[in-house]
Amino acid sequence: MKLKITAAVLSSVLVASACQPTPQNQAATGAVLGGAAGFALSELVDANDNWTAVAVLGGAAAGSVVAQNQSSQECAYADGRGGYYVAAC
């Protein structure tokens, strides 16, 4: 059953990733893809419900940040003093 759920989630993610007509959708699509990846990973390791929720939320946050960085071609880097600076990726 878990294999069918994982396969359904991954195939829907692939379909959703093909529908990126505007740059505004990239952060939302990244969040969906990251959340799906977090869900798939938690299902593969047979995590309990609490860790599944954490994995989905963490994946969604990471996915949206990666998508925003790809659209702007800028990344945040640590400056070694507790802050950060923005430069080209």
Percent of the chain whose predicted confidence (pLDDT) is above 90: 0
Average pLDDT, the chain: 77
pLDDT band at 22 (very low <50, low <70, confident <90, very high): low
Query: Which of the residue ranges 9-13, 24-28, 53-57, 74-78 has the most confident prediction, judged by mean pLDDT?
Result: 53-57
pLDDT of 36 > 80? The answer is yes
pLDDT of 62 > 60? The answer is yes
Q: What is the DSSP string of 48-78?
A: -HHHHHHHHHHHHHHHHHHHHHHHHTEEEEE
pLDDT band at 10 (very low <50, low <70, confident <90, very high): low
Q: What are the residue boundaries of the structural domains of the chain, listed by start?
A: 2-88
